[in-house]
Amino acid sequence: MAPSVLDVGQCNPDHSSISQLLKRQFGASVDRAQYADEAIRLASAKAYDLILINRILDADGSEGLPILDQLKSNPTTQKIPVMLVSNFADAQSTAVSRGAETGFGKNSLRDSATVERLRPFLEK
């Protein structure tokens, strides 16, 4: 069965680039949420292998970290691995301190290190 990923808060070009990487490298299916409430609803309804959250949601400019907090405090979703999509090391560090896995930035989508970071969660 193909791994499934929920991509939260990306703009159209970034969602497309991330989806292409996940599909090409891991055969993953990728669902998309543009808002926090939509992300929580989808994550509660489906067993995702990984959730990617943008640092700032493109649709409304809200912060992505509160979504991480909601996911990690909900018994239904707390065990789903979550990564922050951000080029900023301080944002990554904050996310990890709040329960996320070390994520990646959009600038590193083509780096082999990004694929290796995703592999434990998406390679079946």
pLDDT tens string 60-80: 999 999 999 999 999 999 999
Residue with tokens 């809200």: 62
DSSP letter at 107 equals: G
Q: How confident is the model at residue 10 (pLDDT cuts 50, 70, 90)?
A: very high
Q: Could you write out the three-class secondary structure of 34-55? A: CCHHHHHHHHHHCCCCEEEEEC
Is 103:86 a contact under the CB 8 Å cutoff? yes
Q: Give the per-residue pLDDT at 124.
A: 72
pTM of the model: 0.97
CB count in 10 Å sphere of residue 96:
14
Q: Give the per-residue pLDDT at 1.
A: 86
E strands, the chain, where? 4-8, 29-33, 50-54, 82-85, 101-104
CB count in 10 Å sphere of residue 32:
17
